Structure 1
Amino acid sequence: MLLTTTNTIEGKEITQYFGIVSGETIIGANVFKDFFAGIRDIVGGRSGSYEGVLREAKETALKEMSDHAARMGANAVIAVDLDFETVGGSGSMLMVTAAGTAVRYQ
């Protein structure tokens, strides 16, 4: 399945549009990751634990979107957009949404 943020596929002809597809995931970060990320924020540097959670959430949302497109008969999703939000009472949950247009190209 081809995923692209562009509205066209260079050198290819889009022969069919199936419509909008999306994938969503919500992942919570655990207390230990929060604690160590807080320490890292104080001393500076990147928070590897949060980066890993973010990457996992993004990949899950993209896979869910791709699976939805494949069930429709598409072989690509164009105009892919990713949205990242924190949710929950203390913002301890991360929601990632991937959306795009399912198409068939030749």
Structure 2
Amino acid sequence: MLVTTTNSIEGRRITEYKGLVAGEAVTGANVVRDIFAGLRDFFGGRSGSYEKVFRSSREAAIEDMVANAQAMGANAVLGVDIDYESVGAKGSILMATACGTAVVIE
């Protein structure tokens, strides 16, 4: 499955548009991560634990999107956009959404 942020693929022809496709992933951050992230915020530097949460959420959302595109009969997803939202009472839950256009390409 070809997944790209562009709206076309050089040298490849789109033969069929299957439609909008999306994938979501909701990941909770635990208390320990919150404590270490707070320390990183205070002292400066990168928060490796939160970076891992973002990375795994993004990868899960893309995998979900790809599975949905395959179920539609597509072999590529174009124009992919990935968004993040924090949700929950304390904003400690991360939601990643990947969406694009499922297509069939030659």
TM-score category by the smaller chain? Answer: over 0.9
Aligned residues: 106
How far apart, CA to CA, are the structure 2 residues paired with 1:45 and 1:2? 35
Quote the residue 2:23 is aligned against.
23
Quote the residue 1:77 is aligned against.
77
TM-score, with length taken from structure 1: 0.98
Within-5 A mapping of 1:16-55: 16-55=16-55
Quote the residue 2:11 is aligned against.
11
Alignment RMSD: 0.5
TM-score, with length taken from structure 2: 0.98
Q: Which runs of 4+ in 1 moved over 4 A?
A: none
How far apart, CA to CA, are the structure 2 residues paired with 1:61 and 1:31? 23
The CA deviation string for residues 22-65 of structure 1, in whole angstroms up to 9 with x for no partner, is: 00111010000110111111111000000000000000000000
Give the letter for the 2:89 counterpart. Answer: G
Give the letter for the 1:79 counterpart. Answer: G
Counterpart check, 1:105 vs 2:100 = no
How far apart, CA to CA, are the structure 2 residues paired with 1:89 and 1:37? 18
Give the letter for the 1:77 counterpart. Answer: V
Structure 2: gaps (5+ residues): none
**Identity across the alignment (%):** 58
How far apart, CA to CA, are the structure 1 residues paired with 2:95 and 2:56? 11
How far apart, CA to CA, are the structure 1 residues paired with 2:54 and 2:86? 11
CA displacement at 1:72 relative to structure 2: 1.0
Give the letter for the 2:35 counterpart. Answer: F
How far apart, CA to CA, are the structure 1 residues paired with 2:98 and 2:7? 15
How far apart, CA to CA, are the structure 2 residues paired with 1:10 and 1:35? 47
How far apart, CA to CA, are the structure 2 residues paired with 1:60 and 1:45? 26
How far apart, CA to CA, are the structure 2 residues paired with 1:87 and 1:40? 21
